[in-house]
Chains A and B, each alone.
Chain A
Amino acid sequence: DTAVSQTPKYLVTQMGNDKSIKCEQNLGHDTMYWYKQDSKKFLKIMFSYNNKELIINETVPNRFSPKSPDKAHLNLHINSLELGDSAVYFCASSQGTASGGRFFGPGTRLTVL
């Protein structure tokens, strides 16, 4: 059983489109995240979300929005895609934000043409 799953694995789309990436975790964790792996291979936090609080990295454009229908899912919606949005996006989950190790999904490679 996959602990943290993401779909799709690859996403190729045109500039200006709106797209979503889905994430599901079956670990019973209370916190989920979205990370972006930038061109220099850094993993940068985009959002942290649990059933109480959404925390947004202030550097993330408001074209990006997380949607959580329930504790096991945190989807990423991106509006008006730009060339610079091309990257690998990782979903992750943990039990608590402090000492809980992050369990990462397989990543979604987004290419904006």
Chain B
Amino acid sequence: ILNVEQSPQSLHVQEGDSTNFTCSFPSSNFYALHWYRWETAKSPEALFVMTLNGDEKKKGRISATLNTKEGYSYLYIKGSQPEDSATYLCASLSNSGYALNFGKGTSLLVTP
């Protein structure tokens, strides 16, 4: 995988549903994986930065896991709320680079 790929592209769930998204990234020369939340008309906001294989991070109802050997990360949202509606971006950083390589994001819509 040369680029960061995210799936699904968009997701529509009902309030209270739990959901998850996938981020695939180049596993060679991996250094760090970032997740961002981007609400409409706002700027991206950092959720997690993970560097270690098997790492798991949690913030409230949102958590993320990391597999650096196979090059993927999952973002989980438990009990989705309408305020969780946003685009969720992941980005990888290689140990030979300085710049985050962003995916296109997963657009989540949570309806009451």
Interface on A for B, CB 8 Å cutoff? 4, 33, 40-45, 48, 55, 57, 90, 97-107
Chain A residues whose C-beta falls within 8 Å of the C-beta of B105 in the assembled complex: 41
CB-CB under 8 A for A99 and B104, given A106-B42, A107-B43: no
Across the interface, name the chain B residue whose C-beta is closest to A47: B99
**Contact status B43-A106, CB under 8 Å:** yes
Taking the complex as formed, is B49 at the interface, i.e. its CB lies under 8 A from any CB of chain A?
yes
Interface on B for A, CB 8 Å cutoff? 31-32, 34, 36, 42-46, 49, 51, 89, 91, 93, 98-100, 102, 104-105
**Contact status A98-B42, CB under 8 Å:** no
**Contact status B45-A104, CB under 8 Å:** yes
CB-CB under 8 A for A42 and B44, given A48-B98, A98-B31: no
Chain B residues whose C-beta falls within 8 Å of the C-beta of A55 in the assembled complex: 98-99
- A99 to B34 Cα, complex, angstroms: 8
**Contact status B49-A100, CB under 8 Å:** yes
Chain A residues whose C-beta falls within 8 Å of the C-beta of B46 in the assembled complex: 101-103
Chain A residues whose C-beta falls within 8 Å of the C-beta of B45 in the assembled complex: 104
The dominant DSSP class at the B interface is strand
Q: Which of A98, A101, A106 has the most CB of B within 10 A?
A: A101
Chain B residues whose C-beta falls within 8 Å of the C-beta of A44 in the assembled complex: 102
- A17 to B1 Cα, complex, angstroms: 40
Sampled A-B contacts (8; CB under 8 Å): A42-B104, A43-B102, A44-B102, A57-B99, A90-B43, A101-B34, A103-B46, A104-B43
Would you give the shortest CB distance from A18 to chain B, in whole angstroms?
26
